[in-house]
């Protein structure tokens, strides 16, 4: 098909930037107008029916919301704001996108103040004398940087930024617009020519693996004594939930996930093992340790996943290792691998699933025996069935908080986590019941993530419950997200595990507490003052009632829970990682 011209009519650069986003199917942006980025917003004004511009009260919220948009949709999440303040305030989401491979665009400016930016500059990021260097600064945190100085360059850079954000291993891309570019226009009959965006997006094609190698891997897995699949966040990035489930069932191989990958495979599935590794379930670690063939998909197998590379868990000298990754440099990075499949997780898992179903490859008896092996290891080591799930003490143990959360929420609820012990407890004790229903900042482990992540989840899936779980420390960092929830009519529920402390820090200090404890703060009246619903719970019965009312009220709500400090991260640390 011949290439189409971008526009038959003259357009301002901000209008053209907005049109690029529309052509890419991007339907939301997140940010705070300021500096020359206000001109980008002017371009979005004409696309209000196609793109929702979500205003937040702080750039950190915008960064996380854009990261979650990218992680869940596969399209770049767009954060817009003034360059200086995206760099200083939005980096939590940007670095999560960089380390966790979420596609993202930062549409920002140099705040150059031309033609006076070379004289006692104010805010300017051009890198000249007396200014800060925006290009160099963003380059340390993103996948690529484009700096635009004229009109056509600005539009083509925006198109290329989308391509770079989604191609191969996805990530954040920064667009730095000079004022001279934003003031320009484009139109037909001018060179360089500007063409419609779709023709550039070759990176959106799902890459399959070599068929001969697929056949070799399928044969290895079929012949294995005890195969196991380790699934990471790459499965989520590829939206390969169904392909993973179908392949697991066709092979009869159980699925364990990394902490980042938790939620890509429902943990109530008969072939689920839950999270493995440093804070993983004993059943998952025991099964992987005894496996003879390990298939890792969409995970870099970081030291925090592998109990710091403990050979009692994964050992390439006694196990056959197979790795699937979109980025060749990630495969056989942590460990040498016997086989490597380079390609998109969804495409490669679909190939393997088809190969596993080949006539004569696996009979019913083998599949049944493999499923029984999963049941047996769960029975031996326990699987989401500790007695503390029913504990009645007050303040509440994290297991009991999780119990009431599961009872109150829908099976397809989207639960987001923060950082600290509360995330570890949710990762270990919360049993996911549907694929794609759990998100955490496991790539960076940054506090202040849960609330903006839940906002993005609810915007993308308005029919599903969106529940943010955080500690009182993380709530203090991101509670201004409730203002956005109220103003944008995004009815999320925030559960605050309130123990008057930075739990992980306090437990690490072991009696030498410093800068880790808070005075008591009840989050419920704070929420009410912002126009949201607020509830306080100190017993399991109160928590059950509060969750039910919060989830049914149809507006943003906070449930502040009196949480015990009795259990620490040390209590759930795998013996494999104790050293």
Of 203, 234, 260, which one is at a domain's C-terminal end?
203
17 and 43 Cβ atoms separated by less than 8 Å:
yes
Measured distance CA(465)–CA(493) in Å, rounded: 8
Token output for 126:
């051009």
Q: Does residue 431 lie within any of the structural domains?
A: yes
Tally of CB atoms within 10 A around 519: 5
Q: Which residues pair with 295 in a beta bridge?
A: 229, 322
CATH number of domain containing 431: 3.40.50.970
Q: Which residues pair with 107 in a beta bridge?
A: 80, 175
Reading the chain (579 residues) residue by residue, the pLDDT tens digits are: 678 888 888 999 999 999 999 999 999 999 999 999 999 999 999 999 999 999 999 999 999 999 999 999 999 999 999 999 999 999 999 999 999 999 999 999 999 988 887 888 889 999 989 999 999 999 999 999 999 999 999 999 999 999 999 999 999 999 999 999 999 999 887 778 899 998 888 655 678 999 999 999 999 999 999 999 999 999 999 999 999 999 999 999 999 999 999 999 999 999 999 999 999 999 999 999 999 999 999 999 999 899 999 999 999 999 999 999 999 999 999 999 999 999 999 999 999 999 988 887 888 999 999 999 999 999 999 999 999 999 999 999 999 999 999 999 999 999 999 999 999 999 999 999 999 999 999 788 899 999 999 999 999 999 999 999 999 999 999 999 999 999 999 999 999 999 999 999 999 999 899 999 999 999 999 999 999 999 999 999 999 999 999 999 999 999 999 999 999 999 999 999 976
3-state SS assignment for residue 234? helix
pLDDT of residue 579: 61
Whether residue 397 sits in one domain with residue 359? no
Whether residue 234 sits in one domain with residue 361? yes
- CA trace torsion 437, 443, 447, 453 (10° rounding): -30
Whether residue 63 sits in one domain with residue 160? yes
Q: Does residue 499 lie within any of the structural domains?
A: yes
Token output for 128:
């000249």
Whether residue 465 sits in one domain with residue 355? no
Q: Are strands 227-231 and 172-177 parallel, antiparallel or unpaired?
A: unpaired
The string of DSSP codes covering 69-128 is HHHHHSSPEEEE--HHHHHHHSHHHHHHHHHHT--EEEEEE----TTSTTSS-SS--B-S
Tally of CB atoms within 10 A around 56: 25
Q: Does residue 6 lie within any of the structural domains?
A: no
435 and 265 Cβ atoms separated by less than 8 Å:
yes
Whether residue 130 sits in one domain with residue 63? yes
Whether residue 371 sits in one domain with residue 353? yes
Measured distance CA(345)–CA(342) in Å, rounded: 9
How far lies 178's CA from each of 35, 82, 134, 256, in Å?
Answer: 11, 12, 11, 47
Q: Which domain holds residue 99?
A: 11-203
Token output for 114:
């031309």
The string of DSSP codes covering 3-53 is PPBS-SS-EEHHHHHHHHHHHTT--EEEE---TTHHHHHHHHHTTTTT-EE
Q: Is 60 left (phi over 0), alpha (psi -120 to 50) or beta?
A: alpha
How far lies 455's CA from each of 63, 69, 451, 560, in Å?
Answer: 12, 10, 6, 18
Angle between helix axes 421-429 and 398-408 (nearest 10 degrees) is: 60
Whether residue 195 sits in one domain with residue 69? yes
Tally of CB atoms within 10 A around 199: 12
Whether residue 139 sits in one domain with residue 26? yes
Q: Does residue 216 lie within any of the structural domains?
A: yes
Whether residue 325 sits in one domain with residue 433? no
pLDDT of residue 203: 55
What is the 3-state secondary structure of 360-396? CCCCHHHHHHHHHHHHHHHHHHCCCCCHHHHCCCCCE
290-317: b or e for each residue (b if 16 or more CB lie within 10 Å)?
ebebbbbbbbbbbebbbbeebeebbeee
Q: Does residue 562 lie within any of the structural domains?
A: yes
Of 179, 203, 227, which one is at a domain's C-terminal end?
203
Angle between helix axes 345-356 and 241-251 (nearest 10 degrees) is: 20
How far lies 20's CA from each of 17, 162, 495, in Å?
Answer: 5, 9, 38
pLDDT of residue 362: 87
265 and 349 Cβ atoms separated by less than 8 Å:
no
CATH number of domain containing 262: 3.40.50.1220
Whether residue 230 sits in one domain with residue 123? no
Angle of CA points 499, 505, 511, to nearest 5°:
90
Q: How many domains does the chain have?
A: 3
The string of DSSP codes covering 72-85 is HHSSPEEEE--HHH
3-class SS shares of the chain: helix, strand, coil, % to 5: 40, 15, 40
Token output for 95:
């670095």
Whether residue 225 sits in one domain with residue 165? no
Q: Does residue 355 lie within any of the structural domains?
A: yes
281 and 296 Cβ atoms separated by less than 8 Å:
no
Q: Does residue 258 lie within any of the structural domains?
A: yes
pLDDT of residue 346: 96
Q: Does residue 403 lie within any of the structural domains?
A: yes
Of 351, 381, 411, which one is at a domain's C-terminal end?
381
Helix or strand run (H / E) with residue 144: strand 144-148
Whether residue 398 sits in one domain with residue 441? yes
17-39: b or e for each residue (b if 16 or more CB lie within 10 Å)?
bbbbbbbbebbbbbbbbbbbbeb
């Amino acid at each position: 098909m011949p290439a189409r011209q971008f526009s038959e009519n003259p357009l301002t650069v901000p209008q053209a930037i907005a049109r690029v986003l529309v052509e890419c199917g991007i339907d939301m942006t997140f940010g705070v107008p300021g500096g020359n980025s206000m001109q980008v917003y002017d371009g979005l004004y004409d696309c209000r029916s196609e793109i929702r511009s979500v205003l937040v009260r702080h750039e950190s919220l915008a960064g996380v919301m854009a990261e979650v948009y990218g992680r869940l949709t596969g399209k770049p999440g767009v954060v817009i704001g003034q360059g200086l303040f995206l760099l200083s305030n939005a980096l939590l989401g940007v670095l999560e996108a960089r380390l966790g491979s979420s596609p993202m665009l930062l549409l920002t400016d140099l705040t150059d103040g031309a033609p006076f930016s070379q004289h006692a500059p104010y805010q300017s990021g051009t890198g000249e004398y007396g200014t800060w260097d925006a290009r160099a600064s963003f380059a340390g945190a993103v996948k690529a940087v484009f700096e635009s100085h004229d009109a056509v360059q600005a539009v083509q850079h925006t198109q290329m930024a989308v391509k770079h954000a989604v191609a191969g291993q996805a990530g954040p891309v920064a667009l730095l617009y000079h004022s001279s570019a934003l003031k320009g226009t484009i139109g037909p009959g001018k060179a360089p020519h500007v063409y419609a965006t779709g023709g550039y997006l070759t990176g959106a094609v799902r890459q399959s693996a070599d068929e001969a190698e697929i056949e070799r891997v399928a044969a290895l897995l079929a012949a294995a004594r005890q195969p196991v699949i380790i699934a990471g966040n790459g499965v989520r990035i590829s939206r390969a939930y169904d392909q993973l489930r179908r392949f697991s069932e066709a092979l009869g191989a159980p699925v364990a996930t990394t902490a980042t990958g938790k939620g890509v495979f429902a943990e109530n599935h008969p072939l689920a093992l839950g999270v493995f590794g440093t804070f993983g379930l004993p059943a998952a670690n025991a099964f992987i340790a005894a496996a003879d063939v390990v298939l890792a998909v969409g995970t870099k197998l970081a030291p925090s996943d592998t109990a710091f590379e403990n050979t009692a868990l994964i050992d390439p000298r006694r196990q056959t290792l197979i790795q699937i990754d979109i980025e060749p440099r990630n495969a056989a990075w942590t460990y040498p691998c016997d086989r490597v499949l380079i390609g998109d997780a969804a495409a490669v898992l679909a190939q393997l699933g088809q190969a596993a179903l080949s006539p004569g490859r696996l009979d019913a008896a083998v599949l049944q025996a493999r499923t029984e092996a999963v049941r047996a290891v769960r029975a031996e080591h326990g699987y989401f069935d500790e007695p503390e799930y029913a504990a009645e003490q007050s303040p509440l143990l994290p297991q009991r908080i999780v119990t009431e959360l599961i009872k109150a929420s829908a099976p397809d609820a989207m639960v987001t986590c923060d950082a600290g012990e509360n995330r570890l407890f949710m990762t270990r004790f919360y049993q996911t019941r549907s694929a794609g229903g759990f998100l955490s900042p496991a790539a960076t482990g940054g506090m202040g993530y849960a609330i903006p992540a839940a906002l993005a989840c609810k915007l993308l899936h308005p029919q599903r419950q969106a529940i943010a779980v955080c500690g009182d420390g993380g709530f203090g960092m991101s509670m201004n997200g409730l203002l956005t929830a109220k103003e944008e009519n995004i009815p999320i529920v925030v559960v605050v595990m309130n123990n008057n402390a930075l739990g992980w820090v306090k437990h690490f200090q072991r009696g030498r507490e410093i800068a880790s404890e808070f005075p008591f703060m009840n989050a419920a009246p704070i929420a009410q003052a912002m126009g949201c619903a607020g509830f306080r719970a100190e017993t399991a019965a109160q928590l059950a009632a509060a969750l039910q009312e919060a989830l049914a009220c149809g507006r943003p709500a906070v449930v502040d829970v009196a949480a015990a400090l009795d259990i620490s991260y040390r209590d759930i640390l795998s013996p494999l990682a104790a050293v």
